[in-house]
Each structure stands twice: as structure tokens, then as C-alpha cells.
């Protein structure tokens, strides 16, 4: 019996996610002209076309720190989000 690898491709991207859910938060510090600032970062998960994604959002307007990995299951995305928040 031969084993065959099945490649699943998701055409959805983070931009296709319509609703995001916050899983965890952490505080990030950054340099400012006056010294150091802080931002509360939300680590969120969202689904588009069966693929789950992770993103970060913060109250200081910072960029998304999560990569573009598409997870097959919500639990996998939540696990990745929780790991980001624990660092």
C-alpha cells in the first residue's frame, strides 16, 4: 500500500477575515522621543474560508507581529495565539 501526501491549500488570507476574537493580551514597550512607551497588545484569532489566522493589534498603532500561517483548526490558532501572549 502506498502512502500519498495530500497538500491542502488555503486561498484565504488574513485580509479575508471578517471578525477577530481576542484570545489574550500582553504589554509591549517601545522607544519614544521621551524615553519609553507601553502598548497593550491583543492577540486575536479569526477564520476565513475554513482557515484560521492569528494577528496582533495594539492601542499604539503598531504593526501585526504574527506571521501569515493558516491553521486548519481553531484550536491550533488559539494555541499559537496563547504562545505569542506568553512570551
All structural domains of the chain with their residue ranges: 14-85
Q: Where are the beta strands (DSSP E) in the chain?
A: 20-32, 35-48, 51-58
Question: What is the distance of C-alpha 78 from the center of its chain?
Answer: 9
| CA pair distance 66, 20, nearest whole angstrom | 14
| DSSP H or E run through 76 | helix 74-85
Give the pLDDT mean for 12-27.
95
For the entire predicted model, the pTM comes to 0.81
Helix (H, G, I), strand (E, B) or coil at 42: strand
Question: What does the pLDDT look like over 42-70, one tens digit per residue?
Answer: 999 999 999 999 999 998 888 899 999 99
Place of cell 495594539: 58
Amino acid at each position: 500500500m502506498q502512502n500519498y501526501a495530500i497538500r491542502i491549500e488555503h486561498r484565504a488570507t488574513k485580509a479575508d477575515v471578517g471578525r477577530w476574537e481576542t484570545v489574550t493580551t500582553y504589554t509591549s514597550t517601545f522607544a519614544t522621543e521621551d524615553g519609553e512607551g507601553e502598548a497593550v497588545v491583543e492577540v486575536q484569532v479569526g477564520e476565513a474560508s475554513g482557515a484560521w489566522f492569528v494577528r496582533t493589534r495594539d492601542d499604539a498603532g503598531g504593526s501585526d507581529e504574527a506571521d501569515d500561517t493558516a491553521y486548519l483548526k481553531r484550536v491550533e490558532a488559539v494555541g499559537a495565539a496563547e504562545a505569542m501572549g506568553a512570551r
